[in-house]
């Protein structure tokens, strides 16, 4: 649907009783046939879960368009109100690429890459968080619910509370929260915790993440905790408060993805892909952003050794590795791409024949229909991050396999491993263990595949993304009215 910009002739819209604040708006920009700019909501679990709540409450989504120096007025896309926050090119470099993704991201993922601590980046992070909070405060009606999303905006809850104490504020952290021994390295550790303590409810993917935050709150602010409840003492004229930090594992639009995987065109595409691969008996699949936390190098190393050992190999077995582009202006990601392409080239050079590569490496993104076909195609799904808050790819694979066929090899260092216990769980740092798990998955009988897949599917059906959103918002309502 084309963007509907607000004009002076339209009546002023009333303030929203439900506001989502996220780093990015859930829309993609395109140019229509008539040459006009259009915005369409992005396919994704978060917007699918929140769209009904936004629609019911005349809600608003506050976020960045994704382009630097892009000054846009509020607009509507698919009947959702979008309020853009403008970021300069310098702020994109310092707040987003710098503090968010070169400081917080590696630190919160167990220092899988060295975090960089730059005071200039911190200053930009504070300023951008202040601006997001100001826009949210302006858009929210009296007593509104404001739900802040993810690590880029950890200061927003306290900034909002200082300006609008009438609001009910939730925060959800989509990535891990590190143990205190790692977190304490952050020079601005206290300010970040105090920023989060402005919320009424702080959600995490795993119980361990919530526990890590509770400890940081006790150590750095002197807050008292009892179970998941945090008691914040009065300070600087602000009254004492109670809030809660607890796990709320996110999920996917299971019904929508399963329906997509049943479509004849998607099933036909999966069959077509297998034929194009030469009809191998086993297709292994990895789907990741090209990120050092995803364990792609470890996975390729394990697969390469299985080929070296003669346990697997083309044309009977092939691996498709989708590595979608990610943060390509950041040096660590450029280096990772070089390393991945080097090992893919080595494995293919050692084990491929003409027309039969051992690894099909795809450094690109695909539409949801093609992804569903790939999931259907895959006999074994390899989800082996070194650290991940949840990893929804594992759940997407399970949702597509309504025939109970297929096997999931899953890192125990993902949030998904807490729920999908019947997968073949692995320590991705243990290459021998990963090789054993891959072989076990490849050799699993149809009976064993069904025995494992059935409870996995039950979990993703019962605990879908709508259940996640409803559970969080229900808990937020209980916290703020108790």
Is 351 a known active-site residue?
no
The answer to whether the CB of 406 falls within 8 A of the CB of 295 is no
Q: Which of 56, 55, 54, 63 is nearest to 21 (CA)?
A: 63
Give the full edge-to-edge strand order of the sheet including 16-24: 4-5, 75-77, 80-84, 60-64, 16-24, 140-149, 168-172, 201-204, 241-247, 229-232, 224-226
Q: Active site residue: 94, 109, 150, 174, which one?
A: 174
Q: Which of 253, 291, 379, 388 is catalytic?
A: 388
Distance CA 198, CA 50 (A): 22
Cβ atoms 45, 392 nearer than 8 A: yes
- Active-site residue flag, 174: yes
How far apart are alpha carbons 390 and 375 in whole angstroms? 18
Question: Can you tell me the distance from the alpha carbon of 45 to that of 460, in angstroms, rounded to the nearest whole number?
Answer: 13
Q: Which of 104, 92, 114 is nearest to 331 (CA)?
A: 114
Strands (DSSP E) along 154-234, which ranges?
Answer: 168-172, 201-204, 224-226, 229-232
Q: What phi and psi values does residue 465 have, to the nearest 5 degrees? A: -70, -30
Peptide bond into 94 cis (omega under 30): no
Residues with active-site annotation? 174, 388
């Amino acid at each position: 649907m084309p963007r509907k910009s607000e004009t002076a002739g339209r009546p002023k819209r009333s303030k929203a009783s439900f506001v989502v604040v996220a780093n990015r708006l859930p829309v993609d920009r395109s140019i229509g046939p008539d040459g006009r700019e259009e915005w369409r909501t992005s396919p994704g679990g978060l917007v699918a879960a929140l769209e009904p709540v936004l629609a019911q409450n005349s809600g608003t989504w506050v976020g960045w368009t994704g382009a630097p120096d892009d000054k846009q007025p509020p607009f509507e896309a698919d009947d959702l109100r979008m309020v853009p926050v403008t970021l300069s090119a310098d702020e994109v470099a310092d707040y987003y690429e710098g503090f968010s993704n070169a400081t917080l991201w590696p630190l919160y993922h167990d220092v899988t890459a060295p975090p960089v601590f730059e005071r200039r980046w911190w200053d930009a992070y504070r300023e951008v968080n202040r601006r997001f909070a100001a826009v949210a405060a302006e858009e929210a009606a009296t007593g509104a619910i404001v739900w802040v999303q993810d690590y880029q905006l950890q200061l927003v809850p306290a900034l909002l509370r200082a300006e609008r104490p009438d609001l009910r504020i939730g925060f959800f952290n989509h990535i891990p929260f590190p143990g205190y021994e790692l977190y304490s390295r952050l020079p601005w550790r206290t300010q970040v915790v105090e920023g989060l303590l402005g919320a009424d409810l702080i959600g995490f993917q795993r119980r361990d993440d919530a526990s890590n935050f509770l400890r940081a709150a006790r150590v750095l602010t002197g807050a008292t905790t009892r179970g998941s409840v945090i008691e914040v003492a009065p300070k600087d004229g602000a009254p004492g408060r109670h809030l809660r930090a607890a796990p709320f594992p996110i999920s996917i639009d299971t019904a929508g993805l399963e329906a997509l995987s049943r479509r004849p065109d998607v099933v036909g595409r999966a069959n077509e892909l297998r034929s194009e691969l030469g009809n191998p008996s086993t297709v292994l699949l990895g789907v990741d952003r090209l990120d050092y936390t995803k364990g792609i190098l470890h996975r390729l190393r394990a697969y390469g050794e299985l080929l070296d050992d003669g346990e697997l190999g083309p044309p009977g077995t092939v691996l498709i590795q989708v590595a979608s582009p990610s943060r390509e202006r950041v040096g660590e990601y450029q280096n990772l791409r070089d390393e991945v392409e080097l090992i893919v080239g080595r494995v293919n050079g050692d084990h491929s024949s003409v027309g039969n590569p051992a690894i099909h490496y795809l450094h690109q993104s695909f539409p949801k229909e093609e992804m569903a076909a790939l999931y259907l195609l895959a006999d074994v799904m390899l989800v082996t991050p070194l650290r991940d808050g949840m990893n929804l790819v594992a759940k997407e694979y399970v949702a597509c396999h309504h025939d109970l066929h297929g096997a999931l090899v899953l890192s125990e260092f993902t949030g998904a491993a807490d729920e999908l216990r019947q997968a073949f769980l692995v320590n991705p740092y243990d290459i021998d263990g990963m090789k054993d798990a891959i072989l076990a998955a490849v050799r699993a009988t149809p009976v064993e595949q069904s025995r494992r897949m059935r409870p996995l599917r039950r979990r993703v059906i019962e605990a879908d993304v709508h259940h996640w959103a409803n559970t969080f918002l229900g808990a937020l309502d209980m916290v703020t009215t108790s």
